[in-house]
Every structure is written in C-alpha cells, then in structure tokens.
Structure 1
Amino acid sequence: MTAHEQETSRADQRVVDRLVPVWLQEMEQHDADEARRVRAHWHSGTLPEESARDLTTWVTARVTDTGFNEDEGPDVTGPARITPADKESVHRWLAAQGHRL
C-alpha cells in the first residue's frame, strides 16, 4: 500500500466514523431493534452485508452538498453535512471491507 493509499484509507475511516453514528441514530427513529443490532455489529468491527448496502443507500440519499441552489433543489437536510466526496469515502471504505456495492 502506498503512502497515498494509506492516507486515503485513514481519511475514509474518519468519514465513516463521523457518519455511521448519524446513520444509526436515524435508523433508531424508524427501527430501534435493527439499529441496536447493527450498532452491536459496528462496535464489534463488523457490518453485515445487508447493513452495508443500507449504509450505501443512506449516504447517497443524504448528500447535502450537491452544488444545486435553492431553486434547483434537491434540499436534503439532516444532522450532518455529507458531501459527494464523503459518499465516495464511504463507498471506498465499504469496498475495502469486502462489501459488494
């Protein structure tokens, strides 16, 4: 692994560490039991394949820095700012963990 790849990996990990708690908090509002199950996996260092797919979909849907203005939409509000680069970081991180996206 090159120094650039290592830095990218660390940066991706920081993005994932920032966004997964937001995702889990939102999940808790809709399905508390599932959120607890996924949180337990997350804390043990694993993420089931179905949960990885859900995270992929969630981060894609929650991109808040789209380059659109108010009149053009979309307006995706939420508790965290998520950029297209953040989305790509989460996708790279999941792929590096062996998840199929």
Structure 2
Amino acid sequence: MNDASRTPPTAEDERVAARLVPVWLEETARYDERAATRARQDWQRGRLSPEAARELADWVTARVTDTGFNRDEGPSPDGPTHISVADKAALHRWLEAQGHTV
C-alpha cells in the first residue's frame, strides 16, 4: 500500500490502538523482552515494523473475548482487558492506515 492510498484512522481506531497496544507489549515482554523493547520503541515513535504489526494483528485476533461462545467453548474473558470483535476490526483498520497488510 502506498502513502497516497492510506485512509487515516478514525478517532475510535486510535483509541482502541492506544488501549490495546500497551497490553500486547506487556504480554510480549513476558515471552520476548527484546522484541517487546523494539516494538515499544517503534510504538513511541508512532510506527511499528511489519513483523510487529503482523504479531499485533494475530494477537488481537486470538484475544477476542466477546464472542457468542460460553466459557467452556471460547477464549477466557478473564484476560487483562476486554477485547471485542469491534476492537479487533478497529485495530486492524488502524494497522492498515499505518500502511500494514493485515
């Protein structure tokens, strides 16, 4: 995607990213401190690497807690934050607005 074809993220997409990216960074740091540090530095500069963007997109998809499943069938809603299907879509839009392929 080139810069001319990017759609700016909505204010809601920005709010969702601001809420979820720190949660993702915290979880990532438990497993790969070096990757989390790089991603955090990029986030503070207002951008993410393509690899970090892919990881974030996969993470938010796997962490959706607001589903039609009951506790025995779906992901546990007891994580550090509530993530809805709409949140996932907003974060994916935000990543796409940054020029990443989701």
* Normalised TM-score (structure 1): 0.88
State the distance in 2 between where 1:70 and 1:78 align: 13
Q: Which runs of 5+ in 2 are unaligned?
A: 1-6
Q: Which has the higher contact order (CA 8 A, sep 6+)?
A: 2
Number of aligned residues: 95
Q: How do 1:1-101 and structure 2 match up within 5 A?
A: 9-71=10-72, 73-76=73-76, 77-101=78-102
1:32 deviates by 0.7
Deviations 1:41-82 (A, max 9, x none): 0001110001000000000000000121124x1123410100
Confirm or deny: 8 A CA contact 2:29 2:35 kept in the other structure: yes
* Structure with more of its chain in helix, by fraction: 1
**RMSD, aligned α-carbons:** 1.6
Identity of aligned residues (%): 52
Superposition misfits of 4+ residues, deviation over 3 angstroms: none
